[in-house]
Amino acid sequence: MNNSKKVWNVIAIVAIVIAVILGINLYNKNTSYANVVQNDNNKAFYEVVDRIQNSKIYLAKSMISKEARHGAKTLMEVWRETDLATCYLSMVPIESQEIENTEKFLNQVSEYSYTMANKCIDGQDLSDDEMDKIQELYNYANDLSNTLNEMITELNNGIIKWEDLKKNSEGSDISEVSNFNMVEQNFHEYSGLIYDGAFSEHITSEEKKGLIGNDISEDEAKIIAEEFIGKDKIKETKNNGYVENGNIPVYRFEVTTNENKKIGISISKKGGHLVYMNYDRETNGENITEQDAIQKGKEYLQAKKYENMQETYYMKNDGYIVINYAYKQGNIVAYPDLIKLKIALDDGEIVGVDATGYLNCHFEREIPSNLISIDEARKNISTKAELSSEKLAIIPTEFNTEVLCYEFKGKINEVEFIEYINAQTGKEEDTLIVTNTENGTLTE
Average pLDDT, the chain: 81
Domain presence at residue 205: no
Tell me the per-residue pLDDT of 16-34, one tens digit each, with 9 for 90 and over: 555 555 555 554 544 444 4
Pick from 361, 390, 415: which residue ends a domain?
361
**Higher pLDDT, residue 156 or 406:** 406
Specify whether 111 is located in the same domain as 139.
yes
Calpha distance 201→203 (Å, rounded)? 6
Specify whether 335 is located in the same domain as 387.
no
CATH of the domain at 113: 1.20.120
Domain presence at residue 203: no
Instruction: Work out the average pLDDT over 398-424.
Output: 91
Domain presence at residue 200: no
CA pseudo-torsion sign 80, 83, 84, 85 = positive
**Higher pLDDT, residue 67 or 200:** 67
Specify whether 54 is located in the same domain as 180.
yes
Q: 395, 420 in Cβ contact below 8 A?
A: yes
DSSP one-letter string for 322-364 = EEEEEEEETTEEEEEEEEEEEEETTT--EEEEE-HHHHHH---
Q: Give the β-pairing of 274-278 and 350-354.
A: antiparallel
Residue 240's identity, in one-letter code, is N
Domain presence at residue 320: yes
Which pLDDT score, from 0 to 100, does residue 23 have?
A: 57
Q: Does residue 13 have a pLDDT over 70?
A: no
Q: How confident is the model at residue 305 (pLDDT cuts 50, 70, 90)?
A: very high
CA pseudo-torsion sign 270, 273, 275, 279 = positive
Domain presence at residue 267: yes
Tell me the per-residue pLDDT of 171-194, one tens digit each, with 9 for 90 and over: 444 444 455 555 555 544 443 333
Q: 57, 433 in Cβ contact below 8 A?
A: yes
Domain presence at residue 211: no
Collect all residues with Cβ–Cβ distance below 8 Å to 202 and sequence separation of at least 6.
336, 396, 397, 398, 400
Q: 426, 380 in Cβ contact below 8 A?
A: yes
Specify whether 252 is located in the same domain as 156.
no
Calpha distance 182→314 (Å, rounded)? 34
Domain presence at residue 387: yes
Q: How confident is the model at residue 14 (pLDDT cuts 50, 70, 90)?
A: low
Q: How confident is the model at residue 37 (pLDDT cuts 50, 70, 90)?
A: very low
Burial degree of 409 (CB within 10 A; 0-12, 13-18, 19+): middle
Q: Does residue 429 have a pLDDT over 50?
A: yes
Q: How confident is the model at residue 104 (pLDDT cuts 50, 70, 90)?
A: confident
Specify whether 339 is located in the same domain as 392.
no
Pick from 361, 384, 403: which residue ends a domain?
361
Specify whether 36 is located in the same domain as 140.
yes
Q: How many domains does the chain have?
A: 3
Domain presence at residue 156: yes
Specify whether 353 is located in the same domain as 409.
no
Specify whether 31 is located in the same domain as 126.
yes
| Of the listed ranges 68-72, 86-90, 190-194, 223-227, the one predicted with least confidence | 190-194
Specify whether 48 is located in the same domain as 89.
yes
Specify whether 103 is located in the same domain as 229.
no
Domain residue limits at 109: 2-189
Specify whether 245 is located in the same domain as 299.
yes
Specify whether 108 is located in the same domain as 164.
yes
Q: How confident is the model at residue 300 (pLDDT cuts 50, 70, 90)?
A: very high
